[in-house]
Structure 1
Amino acid sequence: MLQRKTKTTSLASIISYTLPKLHTGKNWYIDFLAYDPLEQRLKRKKYMLDAIPKKADRKARAAELIAALQGKLRTGWTPWTEGANSRQYTKIADVFDYYFKYLDKLYKAGTLKYNTYNDYTKRLEMLRAYNENRAMPIYYAYQIDTAFISDFLDYILIDREASPRTRNNYKGCIATFCNWMIEKGYITANPCDAIKKLTTEPKYRSALTSDDLAKLKTYLEEKNPHFLLLCMFAYYTFIRPDEISHLKVKDIDVAGQKVHLSSEFTKNRREGTVGLNDAVVRLMATLHVFDTDGEYYLFGRGFKPARKRANPDAYRKYFNKVRDALHFTDHYQFYSLKDTGIRDLANAKGIVIARDQARHSDIHTTNKYLKHEGTVHEETKHFKGGL
């Protein structure tokens, strides 16, 4: 009995409808089976034709109705949704459009950072395109289920040859989308909950050694001093790349050697002020940064003061080119400059000073940047203890 029930349930989840068929005799009617998403089973639907007096008219009406029903069933329509007061039967195309408008609103309001906004829209556009290109696209919101999302993630991993980490990032983005759909009443449960994350290698980002830091400086002094200034900003101020991209010339207090950070663009949505190192001020003067319009973005196109803000991805991409040119390890990333700066300032002036410059809430956060990596200090060998 249990086996028969399991087979029926499995079959119903695969076959969502049967083709409409005309029956003639004492009663004329069209019937077919269609999946009811609320009861989660196939149910029989009948359309009676006895009210049409003439047989010829019944046949003509039956042919029209069968053709119309077949077309609607192929799109994912089911008669059990008609008249139901539920958002679960909203067209998926409309759900995507509404969600994109929602993300756009959050981004313009400053609630959503550019990178997050860009990642979510790109990945969900990929999901939408995947559905539209399927042989049988899903049509309604309720059809976004575990099988559909699992197939899409396999497409990302296998067909597009993405890494397990990228596949997991897509899953996270879709899970957020599905949580929003639950909130709006489009679905009742998150289908991503049943999909496991793939095991990935941990990300490894390392601080630059003193020698490599010197090589980077020498190389950029000749090749691109404006990008050197950007690297020095990341190294000395510990300001995040996205925050740097929003800085304007007017945010620099030359006399006080300070940088003002607006709460509109900081990660914790709080205003901040950090110190500006002598070396950074000197290079800014050499490059005539202070002679430009105060409303210009400090590191715009070409890493120079410009009216148009640059995407922080440009910082990372150019750093990677420099890294390759210098034959550095790929563990060095643009963000490694912040790691390196925190390490060097903490070692030179103490962890409390490094904490305040990094705008960390406590020393434990700062300490995460100070990787010990099994270092053995000579002092541990020769100090005189009390035991």
Structure 2
Amino acid sequence: MLDSIKKLSDRKKQAADIISNCTNRLRSGWNPWADISNSRQFTKFDDICELYRKYLIKMTSTAALKQKTQTDYLSRLSILIDYNQNLPIPIIYIYQFTRAYVSDFLDHIFLDRDTSARTRNNYRVWLSAFSAWLIEKQYLEKNPVEGIKSLEETEKFRSALEREDLIRLKDYLYKVDRYYLLACRMEYYTFIRPDELSNIRLRDINIKEQKVFIASTISKNRRDGMVGLNDELIKLMIELQIFSYHSECYLFGRDFKPSTKKADSRIFRENFIKVRAALKFPKNYQFYSLKDSGIRDLANAEGIVIARDQARHSDISTTNKYLKGQNMTVHEETKHFNGAF
């Protein structure tokens, strides 16, 4: 293609420019083999989300959409945008909004954010409506939600770990990866959801009073929360010199060590799958099973009310109205009960 350029140095310069341009486009998400039928499918994902947000607001202002529906849709859109931004390799163009991407996002909603099957199914319905809008505007040709089934809303595959398996897991991780052991113990003792756990910074931990603050900005229920830190957690944190890191560091980075860079919440689940295989645990043992195990053991040891409060369950929403931020109390029993893990 460059034979028409007579001078060799000019020919090489032109070739280098073409290579550089193609490389930059590839790094930004361009795929020369993608099945793209029109240029609109190369519209940037962030631009599409902003356009959809304006569309929802306009539809509500003309009474074509209920205010509650707009609020729900905008909330789900915000979570989708946040999910994409925190991916190791976020999508850039709307044609990358594929069935595989949607399926991974729904797994994130169901597993990492610890929602019910009904909530996950509601997200699926919204994603289908969003995709239909994309097809109508010719940003997509096919609905990526098609083929992704709804979950049985009464089904619960996950189960708590038996006491002997908790001990096996503890002994194994203490030898292999004590930082991931800390992550697992945080789930068992504090019941903090994986998505919230990935957002906890060292500044949120009060080691003297043995408690962790969960801000409303990272909490699933959008309320401030406070949970107790068990003695075993404090001992392991001191052993790992966790508090030698800067207070702005996230408690768990990609390698489960404190880091200035936020890790994707999926790391807890993905690493547990490897550990589960190594220990030959059943598939119904999942990372979030540690929360089930902890609630069971704390309730048996100290009572259901204490376990309920430590889990920040909705039954105490009235109490939460009278407590704000750092003034929230935690039960002393959560700090000292003798668990199996």
| TM bracket, shorter-chain basis | 0.5 to 0.7
Question: Which residue of the partner structure matches residue 215 of structure 2?
Answer: 262
Question: Which residue of the partner structure matches residue 342 of structure 1?
Answer: 295
Whether contact under 8 Å (1:235, 1:340) holds in the other structure is yes
| Residue from 339, 346, 351 that aligns with 2:304 | 351
Question: In the alignment, does 2:222 pair up with 1:273?
Answer: no
| Residue from 255, 262, 272 that aligns with 1:309 | 262
Note the C-alpha offset of 1:301: 2.6
Which structure has the higher relative contact order (CA within 8 Å, separation 6+)? 2
1:352-367 to structure 2, matched below 5 A, reads 352-362=305-315
Note the C-alpha offset of 1:118: 7.2
Task: Give 1 or 2 for the bigger CA radius of gyration.
Answer: 1
Amino acid of the structure 2 residue aligned with 1:311 = D
CA distance in 2, matches of 1:303, 1:339: 22
Secondary structure of the corresponding residue to residue 165 of structure 2 = helix
Question: In the alignment, does 2:51 pair up with 1:99?
Answer: no
TM-aligned CA distance change 1:325 to 1:98, over 3 Å: same
Cα RMSD, aligned residues only: 4.1
Note the C-alpha offset of 1:306: 1.2
CA distance in 2, matches of 1:357, 1:224: 26
1:291-310 to structure 2, matched below 5 A, reads 291-310=244-263
TM-aligned CA distance change 1:259 to 1:181, over 3 Å: same
Note the C-alpha offset of 1:176: 3.5
Note the C-alpha offset of 1:205: 0.5
Question: Which residue of the partner structure matches residue 237 of structure 2?
Answer: 284
1:259-294 Cα distance to aligned partner (Å, 9 max, x none): 011111111111111111111011111111112111
Amino acid of the structure 2 residue aligned with 1:293 = H
1:23-72 Cα distance to aligned partner (Å, 9 max, x none): xxxxxxxxxxxxxxxxxxxxxxxxxxxxxxxxxxxxxxxxxxxxxxxxxx
Whether contact under 8 Å (1:103, 1:117) holds in the other structure is no
Question: In the alignment, does 2:277 pair up with 1:324?
Answer: yes
Note the C-alpha offset of 1:96: 6.2
CA distance in 2, matches of 1:129, 1:354: 39
Question: Which residue of the partner structure matches residue 165 of structure 2?
Answer: 212
TM-aligned CA distance change 1:104 to 1:316, over 3 Å: farther
CA distance in 1, matches of 2:148, 2:194: 28
CA distance in 2, matches of 1:318, 1:128: 25
Question: In the alignment, does 2:176 pair up with 1:227?
Answer: no
CA distance in 2, matches of 1:123, 1:342: 43
Secondary structure of the corresponding residue to residue 260 of structure 1 = strand
Note the C-alpha offset of 1:303: 0.7
TM-aligned CA distance change 1:227 to 1:203, over 3 Å: same
Note the C-alpha offset of 1:122: 9.5
| Percent of aligned pairs sharing the same letter | 46
CA distance in 1, matches of 2:168, 2:233: 18
Note the C-alpha offset of 1:117: 7.2
Note the C-alpha offset of 1:345: 1.0
Whether contact under 8 Å (1:123, 1:170) holds in the other structure is no
Whether contact under 8 Å (1:110, 1:264) holds in the other structure is no
Note the C-alpha offset of 1:250: 1.2
1:134-145 to structure 2, matched below 5 A, reads none
Which structure has greater strand proportion? 1
Whether contact under 8 Å (1:208, 1:340) holds in the other structure is yes
TM-aligned CA distance change 1:128 to 1:334, over 3 Å: closer
- The list of structure 1 runs, each at least 4 consecutive aligned residues, that deviate by more than 3 angstroms after superposition, is 90-98, 100-107, 109-130, 168-174, 178-182, 195-203
Secondary structure of the corresponding residue to residue 302 of structure 1 = coil
Amino acid of the structure 2 residue aligned with 1:99 = I
Q: What TM-score results when the alignment is normalised by the length of structure 1? A: 0.51
TM-aligned CA distance change 1:95 to 1:177, over 3 Å: farther
Whether contact under 8 Å (2:250, 2:260) holds in the other structure is yes
TM-aligned CA distance change 1:242 to 1:198, over 3 Å: closer
Secondary structure of the corresponding residue to residue 352 of structure 1 = helix
1:123-272 to structure 2, matched below 5 A, reads 125-126=95-96, 172=125, 174-178=127-131, 198=149, 202-272=155-225
Amino acid of the structure 1 residue aligned with 2:164 = D
Secondary structure of the corresponding residue to residue 198 of structure 2 = helix
CA distance in 1, matches of 2:91, 2:123: 11
CA distance in 2, matches of 1:129, 1:330: 24
Structure 2, unaligned runs of 5 or more = 1-36, 55-73, 101-120, 317-341
1:55-109 Cα distance to aligned partner (Å, 9 max, x none): xxxxxxxxxxxxxxxxxxxx89xxxxxxxxxxxxx966659664244689979x9
Structure 1, unaligned runs of 5 or more = 1-74, 77-89, 131-167, 364-387
Whether contact under 8 Å (1:100, 1:121) holds in the other structure is no
Note the C-alpha offset of 1:197: 7.5
Secondary structure of the corresponding residue to residue 255 of structure 2 = helix
